[in-house]
Amino acid sequence: QVQLVESGGGLVQAGDSLRLSCAASGRTFSSDAMAWFRQAPGKEREFVAAITWSWIAGSRTDYADQVKGRFTISRDNAKNTVHLQMNTLKPEDTAVYYCAAGARDLRGKYDYWGRGTQVTVSS
């Protein structure tokens, strides 16, 4: 059974940083894209960042415009984990953050999802 478990959320002030982690179990995702999405209250879930890795191309990343320059996604294939370093957080970053895995490419269809971790940024 595949499981994705997020951790690292919390309540912070604007300008602070947080690091989210997602641990996958049940299968390896070293050949698949892994990503973070978020959903704010009353809004649809939106793409945040994604990462792929291959022997030929190494790591490739993609970010939503709203987080470019502030968030960094990384992965550790040996540990089957993906991380999201979030710097200079803003109140509009407040959302439930979801880890996703199993897509063929960065903006593809993700087959596996975690349950989410709450990030709240106060002004």
pLDDT at 10: 97
pLDDT at 88: 98
Name the residue type at position 69. Answer: G
Determine the average pLDDT of the residues in 34-62: 94
Is 90 exceeded by the pLDDT of residue 30? no
DSSP 3-state assignment of 76? strand
Contact 103, 31 (CB under 8 A): no
Predicted pLDDT at 56:
87
DSSP state of 32: S
Chain-centre distance for alpha carbon 45: 12
- In the chain, the amino acid numbered 71 is F
For the segment 65-90, what is each residue's pLDDT rounded down to a tens digit?
999 999 999 999 999 999 999 999 99
Helix (H, G, I), strand (E, B) or coil at 93: helix
Per-residue pLDDT, 54: 85
State the DSSP code for 21.
E
Per-residue HEC secondary structure of 38-53 comes to EECCCCCCEEEEEEEE
pLDDT-wise least confident of 14-18, 55-59, 79-83: 55-59
